[in-house]
């Protein structure tokens, strides 16, 4: 496994385990204590006033900040190579808090054509109702962005690899084009995680995550994170999150995500290894028409993946020779693999984007946005790969 670029002098795993917490400052408690408190007492009324005015650091109320969240926010900022982080109630909480913080009526929002279903719905049915001019750009060819960008562009937004069809976008190229403009480049790094890809180091301004996925890693928490410059994150904290969405992460959930981070590198290595084996099997299977996985040499994004990712990730999309019905048959024949949305868990999960995660698009929109009706999405888990293979093979055998 190639060792990813490091942000500070210690390695990725070491920082994910140790940084920004010393047990000796907390009665020796190896695990950070959880601050299950909504509010914080002030020594004097004047102290409270100074904190509200921003003249003095210190906690006020857990919708603004909390010590348990602080550790996670700092660790994630460090792992992503950003200055500051913000822990939110969900991935959607991170995305909405960031965008509400920087957009005004009349501003232009340029988004890639493939987005996670609820992100698409928020932009298409939410933001555009409030005077934001939303334009879809196929950013897999950065020339399209050169044509679309203007002085009105305030946010350029994309996922890489994109949910669900595994398109990749060249982060450095996009960031370079945005340089001459006021626009912030916001990247959803949920699929790759900072272990495999660090958009900020490639020139992006803000990274958002669904921490529900690989960061938490165990399917037991809904959570989100945003990372960026100190100034931007302060604005998202005090405007987007505190006043507009209220989507703050709960301390218990921060504990779960902080725990997940400790094994992120180990889990990602295994997700990647398993996914490579599965993708190779699918590519060879006569029941499968096409496989979308950037680890395959035949994949159009293979070279870009090698350039901007340390490995190819745990997500695969594919279409069966027998089309939509064969995909449904396959899903229903599986015995170990669970039929469920979400991703990045220990358990291998399979779902059908057109009727599930991407049912927020109309059929017509899915067609325009390149999400085919027969596509099946697999989140490759941490089980023994032979068992995942065996379940898929028996499922495929009777799917047509
Ligand atoms: C899913 N995705 O199954 P939360 N960004 C990306 C995501 O994949 C997601 C979010 C943001 C799925 C969830 S679908 C009903 C279940 C790339 C979530 C949003 O708010 O933490 O769910 O993150 O693809």
Residue spans of alpha helices (H) in 221-263:
230-235, 251-261
90 alpha carbon – ligand 1 mean position (Å): 9
Q: How far is CA 258 from CA 83, 121, 153, 302, 333, in A?
A: 18, 29, 35, 32, 36
Catalytic residue flag (residue 116): yes
Ligand 1, atom 14: closest residue by C-alpha: 357
Residue 204 and residue 178: Cα distance in Å, rounded? 9
At the topology level, CATH places domain 12-261 in 3.40.640
Residues with CB under 6 A from ligand 1: 90-92, 116, 118-119, 159, 163, 188, 190, 210, 212, 222, 224, 341-343, 357
Position 176 pLDDT exceeds 70: yes
Is residue 375 pLDDT above 60, yes or no?
yes
- CA–CA distances in Å: residue 115 to residues 44, 162, 276, 351: 49, 6, 24, 16
Q: Are 84 and 98 in contact (CB under 8 A)?
A: no
**Residue-wise pLDDT tens digits, 150-161:** 999 999 999 999
- Biggest alpha carbon distance in the chain? 73
Give the mean pLDDT of the chain. 97
Provide CATH 3.40.640.10 ranges for the chain.
12-261
User: DSSP label at 372?
Assistant: -
**Measured distance CA(288)–CA(396) in Å, rounded:** 8
Q: Do 188 and 206 form a contact (C-beta atoms < 8 A)?
A: no
> In this structure, are residues 76 and 123 in contact, taking their beta carbons and an 8 Å threshold?
no
In this predicted structure, what is the pLDDT of residue 400? 86
Report residue 104 as tokens.
């005004």
pLDDT tens per residue, range 179-234: 999 999 999 999 999 999 999 999 999 999 999 999 999 999 999 999 999 999 99
In ligand 1, the atom with minimum distance to the C-alpha of 163 is: 17
Residue 349 has pLDDT above 90, yes or no: yes
Q: What is the pLDDT of residues 283-335, one digit of tens each?
A: 999 999 999 999 999 999 999 999 999 999 999 999 999 999 999 999 999 99
What would the pLDDT profile of 9-52 be if each residue is shown by its tens digit? Answer: 899 999 999 999 999 999 999 999 999 999 999 999 999 999 99
* Ligand 1 midpoint to CA 368 (Å): 21
Choosing from 63, 259, 262, 306, which is the catalytic residue?
63
Q: Is the pLDDT of residue 2 over 80?
A: no
Instruction: Tell me if residue 293 is catalytic.
Output: no
Range(s) of the chain covered by CATH 3.90.1150.10: 264-397
> Which own/partner contact pairs does 350-353 have at CB distance under 8 Å and 24+ positions apart?
350/376, 350/377, 350/378, 350/379, 351/376, 351/377, 352/327, 352/328, 352/376, 352/377, 353/117, 353/164, 353/317, 353/377
**CA 391, CA 353: separation in Å to the nearest integer?**
21
CA dihedral 90, 96, 97, 102 (to 10 degrees): 160
**Does 3.30.2020.30 match the CATH number of domain 264-397?**
no
């Amino acid at each position: 496994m190639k060792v990813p670029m490091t942000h500070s002098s210690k390695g990725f795993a070491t920082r994910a385990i140790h940084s920004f917490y010393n047990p000796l400052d907390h009665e020796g408690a190896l695990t950070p204590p959880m601050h299950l408190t909504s509010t914080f007492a002030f020594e004097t009324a004047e102290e409270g006033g100074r904190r509200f005015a921003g003249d003095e650091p210190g906690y006020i109320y857990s919708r603004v900040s909390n010590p348990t969240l602080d550790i996670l926010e700092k660790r994630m900022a460090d792992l992503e190579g950003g200055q500051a982080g913000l822990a939110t109630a969900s991935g959607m909480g991170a995305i909405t808090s960031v965008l509400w913080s920087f957009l005004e009526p009349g501003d232009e929002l340029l988004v890639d054509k493939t987005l996670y279903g609820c992100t698409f719905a928020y932009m298409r049915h939410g933001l555009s109702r409030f005077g934001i001019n939303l334009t879809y750009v196929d950013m897999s060819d950065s020339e399209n962005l050169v044509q679309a960008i203007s002085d009105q562009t305030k946010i350029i937004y994309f996922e890489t690899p994109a949910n669900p069809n595994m398109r990749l976008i060249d982060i450095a190229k996009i960031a370079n084009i945005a340089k001459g403009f006021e626009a912030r480049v916001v990247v959803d790094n949920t699929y790759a995680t900072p272990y495999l890809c660090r958009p900020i180091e490639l020139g992006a301004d803000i990274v958002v995550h669904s921490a529900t996925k690989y960061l938490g890693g165990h399917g037991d928490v809904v959570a989100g994170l945003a990372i960026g410059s100190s100034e931007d994150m302060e604005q998202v904290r005090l405007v987007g999150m505190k006043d507009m969405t209220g989507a703050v992460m709960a301390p218990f959930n921060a504990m779960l995500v902080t725990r997940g981070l400790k094994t992120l590198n180990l889990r990602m290595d295994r997700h990647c290894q398993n996914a490579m084996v599965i993708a190779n099997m699918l590519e060879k299977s006569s029941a499968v028409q096409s496989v979308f996985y950037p680890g395959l040499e035949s994949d159009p994004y293979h070279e870009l993946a090698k350039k901007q990712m340390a490995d190819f990730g745990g997500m695969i999309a594919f279409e069966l020779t027998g089309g939509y019905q064969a995909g449904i048959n396959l899903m229903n024949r599986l015995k170990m693999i669970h039929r469920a949305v979400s991703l990045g868990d220990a358990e291998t999960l399979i779902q059908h984007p057109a009727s599930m995660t991407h049912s927020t698009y109309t059929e017509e929109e899915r067609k325009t946005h390149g999400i085919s009706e027969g596509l099946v999405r697999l989140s490759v888990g941490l089980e023994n790969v032979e068992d995942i293979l065996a379940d898929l093979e028996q499922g495929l055998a009777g799917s047509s």
